[in-house]
A and B are shown apart, each in its own frame.
Chain A
């Protein structure tokens, strides 16, 4: 059984192992995204070459995602007392050179690093603008520790918060601390976590449950995956603390089956924690016992909704039900149950360890702490960023994300996934928190932040989200099942150039009805993408309906191509046209027969003289 003294000793040993003099610690980011970018081959070469050269002082470790997707695969070299060296966009050949020149020869390979300052000092990831405004609480261990090694987690104060809770605090004081911290649920709605726990704590039952919601379904959001892959023990520790606070001895992690790496690392983490007595019976010699089991989802977005998630764990179709009774009173198998999102849980141990006041020193009065965003779409620095609440969207998109690529104009940023809305440049100076985003017609959601530029059609984007909701509606309540389908049909007509002004009115009517009458949040929020684009980009809807034009040039049925006087008669377009709609002689202006043209855009893409106009 683990005692308090053991944990301290373990920590000292683990720190020594990670930072002992003369050792070079080499880490490779091996989250799913790193692996797809080729990190596995980098790792194989690294291990092979280090072994062949007999470099005994080099310790190779796997680590999670550091958040800078554009630079993957990333390899970092850490040496005690020296500045960390970051190598980016690695491949096996580059790795072989780093092993020889840096690990063996002691000289960093400047060509593969992120550059250096005027004085010639080597820069690493932390010196980049990308990280300057970030504050890492949730992601503090991601990219720093080996997620498959519990000792490295312990070296960074892992399980110290659980020890403190069990030995120095009562369940009530744990809940009070959480309430005081003001932590709000990071899954989307922002319900105060401490308050939620306090609902389940007084309920008398022979069994209570705590569930970690890792069914990260929002397209474009991957922070939960990153935490599970980079720091799984933080989630397990928080679940145990939550279990202690509400009186639950059993936890479930409901995780998407699409995340095989996360599932594997969770399994390893649970095994290690059980082996060391950090999960199981009488943890730290207290009379608190707690265990965790993994349950896999099977591809249903609605299972992110808590009652649907519970139904799924019970082995049923993942359909939501009416509330009340709330899960805190009647949840899994009718027992009091608390469900928290991965990112929410990743804050808990830090709050217990450092206190509510420390946590409140980040963020805003009503939304303390940080938020992790998955920055994607038309942005230069795609990646995972953790910023204090209250930062403006402009800072995130321009200072951290460094704007839209290819000099294109920013059009909108979408937050909150299929439940959220689009935010235009007019609102970019809004400080980000739960309430402000709702006020400007979007929502926090789980933290996907998709940037769109002038080439994206907002009607098409609204159609895309509705298509998603129609597909993912569980089918239980009529407004969501039928209503979203009717909305999608209208949008399909509009993008096909068959929309009418009546259609726009009907869309708004339907949206309002679905919002008011759907059973769960999936339906209630499904019209949001349509509502927000209709509000901010009504001119685009009108262009589709009245002028039968798609201003962004996306909706193929509404496009037309004409050849202008710039045509040099090179015949390139004529040769590429799949339906022989283009005629013309060499060195003479060509013409597109509009009756034959299928608007595929092949000629537009191939023209070297910008002589084809799209309208």
Chain B
């Protein structure tokens, strides 16, 4: 089999996974998470100058008005998380906390939903999203070779982001373009019939 197998989805990762601890809950709260939460509470600017999200971020106000517009609806957790992910690009803890406070849904439940569905991300993503279709039609036509080639070209594991923040590589579910198998999707563009993987470096070159 190829060197890159599909990653366990977020819902499979248990808190004992060190990667999860560092960035989210668990014993690692003392570092990154605590500092970010502190930012939300004392309304200061990003103290770590890493560009993380602060409480004054205008997107919070937009999210608040979106939540208010759904007040009379039932079951709004998913639409709100989708809107938040659209606005912030991912769902950091401070955003989840904000949603919890404004919807009355417990943070544990928000976190549970955000980690269950594969489209929600808790960590920031690269500038471009590279999704390799792992649907059956693509798989029987060699999408594993395509994925292996991308792992080699981008020098990242599946599910991870390149160190320069340019690409996030993912194995995605069926893109429904089975006539173009094997295919990949970079942002919103589909590239099909990639039987010849040597085309891949050129395709990646179009994205800065």
Residues in A lying within 8 Å of B, measured CB to CB: 32-33, 35-37, 69-70, 72, 216-222, 225, 257-260, 295-301, 312-318, 333, 374, 376-378, 382-383, 414, 417, 448, 450, 452, 456, 460-461, 463-465, 467-468, 471-472, 474-475, 492, 495-496, 555-557
Does the CB pair B75–A456 fall under 8 Å?
Answer: no
Min C-beta distance of A119 to chain B, whole Å: 32
Q: Please give me the residue from chain A that is nearest to B105 by CB atom.
A: A315
What string of 1s and 0s marks CB contacts (under 8 Å) between B166-184 and chain A?
0000001111111111010
The CB with the most chain B CB atoms within 10 A, among A218, A298, A448, is that of: A298
Q: Does B116 contact A (CB under 8 A)?
A: yes
The contact of B78 among A32, A259, A296, A377, by CB within 8 Å, is: A296
Does the CB pair B119–A299 fall under 8 Å?
Answer: yes
Min C-beta distance of B75 to chain A, whole Å: 4
What string of 1s and 0s marks CB contacts (under 8 Å) between B95-117 and chain A?
00000000001000100110011
What string of 1s and 0s marks CB contacts (under 8 Å) between B65-89 and chain A?
0000000001111110110000000
Does the CB pair B79–A295 fall under 8 Å?
Answer: yes
Does the CB pair B78–A312 fall under 8 Å?
Answer: yes
Interfacial residues of chain B within 125-148, with CB under 8 A of chain A in the complex:
134-137, 139-141
Q: Please give me the residue from chain B that is nearest to A314 by CB atom.
A: B75
**Other contacts beyond A222-B176, A333-B74, A474-B116: 4, CB < 8 A:** A72-B179, A219-B137, A378-B141, A474-B11
Q: Does B1 contact A (CB under 8 A)?
A: yes
Q: How far is the CA of A32 from the CA of B2 in the complex (A)?
A: 30
The CB with the most chain A CB atoms within 10 A, among B12, B82, B176, is that of: B176
Does the CB pair B137–A317 fall under 8 Å?
Answer: no
What string of 1s and 0s marks CB contacts (under 8 Å) between B4-28 and chain A?
0110110110000000000000000
Does the CB pair A36–B190 fall under 8 Å?
Answer: yes
Does the CB pair B136–A464 fall under 8 Å?
Answer: yes
Does the CB pair A225–B118 fall under 8 Å?
Answer: no
The CB with the most chain A CB atoms within 10 A, among B8, B134, B173, is that of: B173
The contact of B139 among A317, A382, A464, by CB within 8 Å, is: A464
- Can you list 27 residue pairs at the A/B interface with Cβ under 8 Å? A32-B176, A33-B176, A36-B177, A36-B189, A36-B190, A219-B134, A220-B135, A258-B173, A297-B117, A298-B118, A299-B119, A314-B75, A316-B112, A374-B178, A376-B178, A377-B140, A377-B141, A378-B141, A382-B137, A414-B136, A448-B137, A456-B140, A464-B139, A465-B136, A467-B5, A474-B116, A495-B1
Min C-beta distance of A375 to chain B, whole Å: 8
Q: Please give me the residue from chain B that is nearest to A71 by CB atom.
A: B179
Chain B residues whose CB sits within 8 angstroms of the CB of A216 once the complex forms:
176
Contact A315/B76 with A219-B136, A299-B117 known, Cβ cut-off 8 Å = yes
Q: How far is the CA of A460 from the CA of B113 in the complex (A)?
A: 32
Q: Does B90 contact A (CB under 8 A)?
A: no
Min C-beta distance of A232 to chain B, whole Å: 16
The contact of A258 among B76, B77, B79, B176, by CB within 8 Å, is: B176
The contact of A452 among B2, B11, B75, B140, by CB within 8 Å, is: B140
The CB with the most chain B CB atoms within 10 A, among A376, A417, A452, is that of: A376
Chain A residues whose CB sits within 8 angstroms of the CB of B109 once the complex forms:
316
Does the CB pair B136–A448 fall under 8 Å?
Answer: yes
Which 5 interchain pairs have the tightest Cβ spacing?
A69-B179, A315-B77, A376-B137, A298-B117, A219-B135
The CB with the most chain A CB atoms within 10 A, among B76, B105, B180, B192, is that of: B180
Q: How far is the CA of A465 from the CA of B135 in the complex (A)?
A: 10
Q: Please give me the residue from chain A that is nearest to B114 by CB atom.
A: A298
Contact A471/B179 with A315-B75, A315-B77 known, Cβ cut-off 8 Å = no
Chain A residues whose CB sits within 8 angstroms of the CB of B118 once the complex forms:
298-300
Q: Please give me the residue from chain A that is nearest to B113 by CB atom.
A: A317
The contact of B136 among A220, A301, A315, A496, by CB within 8 Å, is: A220
Chain B residues whose CB sits within 8 angstroms of the CB of A222 once the complex forms:
174, 176-178
Does the CB pair B1–A219 fall under 8 Å?
Answer: no
Q: Please give me the residue from chain B that is nearest to A300 by CB atom.
A: B117
Chain A residues whose CB sits within 8 angstroms of the CB of B173 once the complex forms:
217, 219, 258, 299, 301
Does the CB pair A471–B120 fall under 8 Å?
Answer: no
Min C-beta distance of B143 to chain A, whole Å: 10
Interfacial residues of chain B within 1-57, with CB under 8 A of chain A in the complex:
1-2, 5-6, 8-9, 11-12
Min C-beta distance of B11 to chain A, whole Å: 6
Does the CB pair A471–B116 fall under 8 Å?
Answer: no
Q: How far is the CA of A436 from the CA of B61 in the complex (A)?
A: 57
Min C-beta distance of B113 to chain A, whole Å: 6
Q: How far is the CA of A394 from the CA of B78 in the complex (A)?
A: 44
Q: Please give me the residue from chain B that is nearest to A312 by CB atom.
A: B78
